[in-house]
Chains A and B, each alone.
Chain A
Amino acid sequence: MIYNMEFETLPREALEAIQLRRLKQTVERVYATVPFYRKQFDKVGVKPDDIKSLDDLRRLPFTTKQDLRDNYPFGLFAVPMENVVRIHASSGTTGKPTVVGYTARDIQTWAELMARALSAAGATRGDIIHNAYGYGLFTGGLGVHYGAEKLGASVIPISGGNTKRQIMIMKDFGATVLTCTPSYALHLSEVAMEMGVDPKTLKLKVGVFGAEPWSEKMREEIEQKLYLTAIDIYGLSEIIGPGVSVECIEAKKGLHIFEDHFIPEIIDPETGENLKPGEVGELVITTITKEAFPVIRYRTRDITFLNPEPCICGRTHTRMGRVMGRSDDMLIIRGVNVFPSQIESVLMEIDEVEPHYQLIVDREGSLDILTVLVEVGEHAFSDEVRKLQELERKIEKNIKEYLGISAKVKLVEPKTIARSEGKAQRVIDKRKI
């Protein structure tokens, strides 16, 4: 089902005309209202008037997550705070989070995009949507929520956690659509089985899963275990939240990027050069309708490719491939962004341990498992097992407190963490995605 027939099926030429008009407006606006962008554009000598075609976008500089951090919290807002009705932030728990703002119209835009996304996944106003994305500063919960309401479906704002209760509610309320991270979907299926609730007896028909990398193999597993069709959704708070792109249920092959609101590019992450359709590189997005927090050529760090081929669903918007990984060292663990440097900060605050550590990420069954290896120096060492175990618990507790994720801490002997070229390899990702 196509929610917005007019805009989602625009002929390419008309779509590009709209994109150019909106791009010009956005560039003019950020140049006038955001000192950061004015400075950036001046640095490369491009004035808003120089944007005459969509190709001219390439003349503008990239915006990075670091730029967002440097302008923390509201430095990149393009409207006065009195026009900002909502603030979200990404999980930059020990460093500075990236903060994004929305005007009332931005919220409407976002709701529209999420309504489109849910429709593309096959949801209708007759559905009961069990929304197990986290509500709060994280964009997942509220993004889906507003979209579901806009669509006219019934939303169960269950948020994350308390899995047994979720199963009971899903069963009793007769949820037909499930929205959560893919790993949580699998966890739900396992807990349901443990509770003696066969997922077959639930009314679920569709799941809309995102916020972490997942694979075709995982899709098959979820579909078999939960008896539903699993749809991939993509988004990030810096752009708007969930609903930047979504798979259509007709093809389930690539995620349509809502191009009347976002202009996607793929670049070589090393050189910054633009790549051709089909070539794998880093996704860069420019927002062209956002009011409070527009971003120009934002480097998402997500690795994918673009596919402009027409789709059987009738949407003309280009598709992106499933996200294959990250161009930087950011890990997404159970939907939470984790940088090795955050673990480092946690360790640095504990006197007894050395800052030599390694993160091992693996997937056991359906859940991401993070193991943190920490070298034990003489300073931390004790001849009593209990004291070393207490140290492990302490580090685990601090990681949980600062980053919000559970990790297993394992003390290891000094120098056991391989140092290549003098620098330690901080992350070993064993997940097969």
Chain B
Amino acid sequence: MKVEQISIFLENKAGRLAEVTKVLASAGINIRALSLADTSDFGILRLIVNDTELAKKVLKENGFTVGKTQVVAVEVEDRPGGLNKILDILRAANINVEYMYAFVQQSGNNAVIIFRFDNTDEAIKTLLENGVKVIEGERLYAM
């Protein structure tokens, strides 16, 4: 039920992001979703790709600091209140969202939101108990 996400440490320097995408492109890796968190000094690029292990390998070979984290992908009804419903469930269960970002899907009626939780297993259990659709990693990488 978990989705693997890689994260990359980036100094705030011109061209650094382009170097990441270049490395991934030459390895034939497709980016499924991404988010960039930044501060004045550094940024953290989070990616969901079609081949996590390969991406991690090629990035490391190119001198990047790469981490792997497990996140949760949730299908959300694409209508007003869709996201709110999910967040209400999490609030009721007292589960804290570390960060989240949206996954852009071209077809289908639902949106996908990627969540990072403190306690991933507990979060998945709560979401499932409340009838929320959690997307398997394999399905997501191939979307």
Contact = CB atoms under 8 A, between A and B. Distances in A.
Nearest to A412: B11
A31 B39 CA distance: 61
A378 B41 contact: no
B50 interface: no
B39 A383 contact: no
A291 B98 CA distance: 65
Nearest to B98: A384
Given A388-B44, A413-B10, A383 B63 contact: no
B65 A383 contact: no
B69 A385 contact: no
A411 B99 contact: no
Contact of A385 (B5, B37, B65, B66): B37
Contacts of B99: 384
Contacts of A416: 11
A341 B110 CA distance: 57
A381 B46 contact: no
A382 interface: yes
A414 B65 contact: yes
A413 B9 contact: yes
Contacts of A378: 65-67
The contact size tier of chain A is 10 to 19
Interface in B25-76: 37-39, 41-42, 44, 46, 63-67, 69
B69 A383 contact: yes
Contacts of B11: 412-413, 416
A73 interface: no
Nearest to A386: B98
A383 B41 contact: no
A377 interface: yes
Interface string A402-418: 00000000111111100
A373 B32 CA distance: 33
A389 interface: yes
Contacts of A392: 41
A383 B66 contact: no
Given A378-B65, A378-B66, A413-B64, A383 B116 contact: yes
B41 to A, nearest CB: 5
A383 B7 contact: yes
Interface string A363-391: 00000000000001110011111001100
A125 B9 CA distance: 62
Nearest to B67: A381
A383 B42 contact: no
17 contacts: A376-B9, A376-B42, A378-B65, A378-B66, A381-B7, A383-B69, A384-B44, A384-B116, A385-B39, A388-B9, A388-B42, A389-B39, A410-B42, A411-B9, A412-B11, A413-B9, A413-B63
Interface of B: 5, 7, 9-11, 37-39, 41-42, 44, 46, 63-67, 69, 98-99, 116
Given A381-B7, A381-B66, A413-B9, 6 more contacts: A377-B65, A383-B116, A385-B39, A410-B42, A412-B11, A413-B10
